[in-house]
Amino acid sequence: MEITPEQAESVTEGSTKSRWPSLYVQVLIAIALGILLGCWRPEWGMSLRPLGDGFVKLIKMLIGPIVFTTVVVGIAGMKDLKTVGRVGVKAVAWFEFMTTVALLIGLAVAHAIKPGSGIHASVSQLDTSALDKTLSGPRPHGFVEHVLAIIPDTFVGAFVQGDVLSVLLLAVLVGVAVAGLGDRATGLVKLTEQVAAGVFGVVGIVMRLAPLGAFGAMAYTIGRYGVGTLASLAKLMASFYLTALLFVFVVLGLVLRLLGLSIVALLSYLREELAIVLGTSSSESALPRLMAKLEALGCAPSVVRLVVPTGYSFNLDGTSIYLTMAALFVAQALGVQLSLGEEVQLLLVLLLTSKGAAGVTGSGFVTLAATLSATGSIPVAGLTLLLGIDRFMSEARALTNIVGNAVATLVVARWEGELDLTRARTVLASRGVEGARTHGT
């Protein structure tokens, strides 16, 4: 199912043309109002948390059906299973490469700036009650546990649990099976396409609530933690945001430059999606819109529908940077000296655990806890130091993740010869959906 100009408009605009400002402007205004309310009346801001949580839950409700239908249609649309395998291998290879680069950059910056030095915290003096509440619930630690956690207990269990990796596994299996049926599965593929179109229609309706969700989420964050919270750990905050910006504009910018595209133009093209992610602190909230935008940009639908959902679990560049920087911050703050072997072990474990960090607020924090538990070299109790600012850093994680997945899709599509570069350059030059509609499918 290829995104038509009309579908691209409905998903990316989120509403029909009217005298109201664009969704991008609405979300930015909502974020600003949320910050002001959180500062002026913190208790009011905290009471608005259900608005942000409710919007993210609405999006999460649709993620399972979107990932399942798009991946199944994407694999079935390739028809040749060798093509599916080739695209999958290229995507995973790129994901692993960029994840490793992100982890190493985070490690290098943490060593250079040493954001945790000078804090001189002690595990015995830390209040871990809030940490225990945040990390309540079972978490897989080892390799075997992570693999088994991906497999759902039942066919519908993946959708009930809302685990993207489980839904992705199920979608790949069904897609491969459907592709193997050939012409006999034509009716099933068309039905799946129609279901996907219906789900995207629901997304268009839900996205009208994005400003409300962004307003509630930002008001709660500022009201709950306060701007003053940032001052005590400003060094780590500044280091992480600077590293994320350098990664996007230098590393990803260089990758796009090699493709003959501009990172600035891509960011402008995805400005509405980035605004929604900024307001909700969740990259999942922009998943449907990102897929529509990339198809309208000139990437083959089959590539988009396989690479983007997979990337949301396997290509979390922002989360990877955060994981290494936060781990070393805790070690430095507690005075823990890590040997070269322990740092290598930390990187190897993060290459595994980072794959389970879905693009939802707080998942990176839980993943970091699981990593420290698995290595045993850094006390998990030290994460108490990050509780106050983790929410503020989740925006940068989510923003970097979504940009990384957009670039990854363009790279794999170009690698496969499934990217219309002329169209991509023209659309990016227009910096808006109008360019996609003018050069429609």
The structure tokens listed for 292 are: 């529509």
pLDDT, tens digit only, all 441 positions of the chain: 455 434 454 544 444 445 566 676 788 888 889 888 988 888 888 898 888 888 878 877 887 888 788 778 877 776 667 777 888 889 889 988 998 899 899 989 988 988 877 766 676 665 555 555 555 555 555 556 666 777 888 888 878 776 667 887 888 888 888 887 877 888 888 888 888 888 878 877 887 888 888 888 878 877 876 665 555 567 788 888 899 999 999 999 999 999 999 999 999 999 988 988 888 777 777 888 898 899 999 999 888 988 888 887 778 888 888 888 888 888 888 888 888 888 888 888 777 666 655 544 455 666 777 677 767 788 877 777 776 667 677 788 889 999 999 999 999 999 999 999 999 999 998 864 444 443 443
Give the pLDDT score at 340: 84
Q: Determine contact, residues 84/176, Cβ cutoff 8 Å.
A: yes
Q: What is the pLDDT of residue 436?
A: 44
Q: Which two three-digit tokens encode residue 353?
A: 């655990």
335: left (phi over 0), alpha (psi -120 to 50) or beta: left
Per-residue model confidence (pLDDT) at position 382: 76
Q: What is the CATH number of the domain that holds 38?
A: 1.10.3860.10
Domain that holds residue 419: 5-438
pTM value? Answer: 0.75
Q: What is the DSSP string of 348-391?
A: HHHHHHGGG--SSTTHHHHHHHHHHHHH-SS-GGGGGGGTTTHH
Whether residue 38 contacts residue 217, with contact meaning beta carbons closer than 8 Å, is answered with no
pLDDT of the residue at 421:
92
- pLDDT for the residue 266: 94
| Three-class DSSP category at 181 | helix
* Residue 36: how many other CB atoms lie within 10 Å: 14
| Residue in 165, 161, 164, 114 with CA at minimum distance from that of residue 138 | 161
| Total structural domains within the chain | 1
